[in-house]
């Protein structure tokens, strides 16, 4: 495989991972709204900052505040909603390790 082909494969993997992040973020946002919770409610339940939760919901993964891996943030967010956070975030971990 040439360097150009390697770069294209890496770009496709990154795009696929970002698409999955966006799907998960949209799902968590929808569940939060259905439960009538505010960002502050989720922040208190998850020990994540409101800014981090907002960045996840806005799908602004490049500018996430803090130093936690996104998979852990997603897991804590999902747990705060009463979901199985490890299952929600495991897809993110598998995709990241496949790169």
> What is the 3 state secondary structure string of 12-42?
HHHHHHHHHHHHHHHHHHHHHHHCCCCHHHH
Residue 75: phi and psi, rounded to 5, are -60, -45
Taking only the tens of pLDDT, the chain with its 99 residues reads 566 655 554 454 455 777 778 889 999 999 999 999 999 999 999 999 999 999 999 988 777 766 678 888 889 999 999 998 888 877 654 444 443
> What is the reported pTM?
0.72
Q: Give, as one character, the DSSP assignment of residue 62.
A: G
Q: What is the pLDDT of residue 57?
A: 93
Q: Which tokens sit at 60?
A: 């602004």
Q: What are the chain's domains?
A: 3-98 (1.10.260.40)
């Amino acid at each position: 495989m040439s360097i150009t082909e390697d770069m294209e494969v890496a770009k496709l993997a990154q795009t696929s991972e970002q698409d999955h992040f966006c799907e998960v973020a949209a799902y968590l946002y929808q569940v939060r709204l259905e439960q009538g919770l505010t960002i502050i409610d989720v922040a208190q339940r998850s020990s994540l900052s409101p800014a981090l939760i907002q960045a996840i919901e806005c799908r602004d993964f490049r500018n996430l505040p803090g130093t936690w891996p996104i998979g852990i943030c997603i897991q804590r967010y999902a747990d705060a909603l009463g979901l199985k956070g490890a299952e929600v975030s495991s897809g993110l971990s598998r995709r990241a390790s496949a790169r």
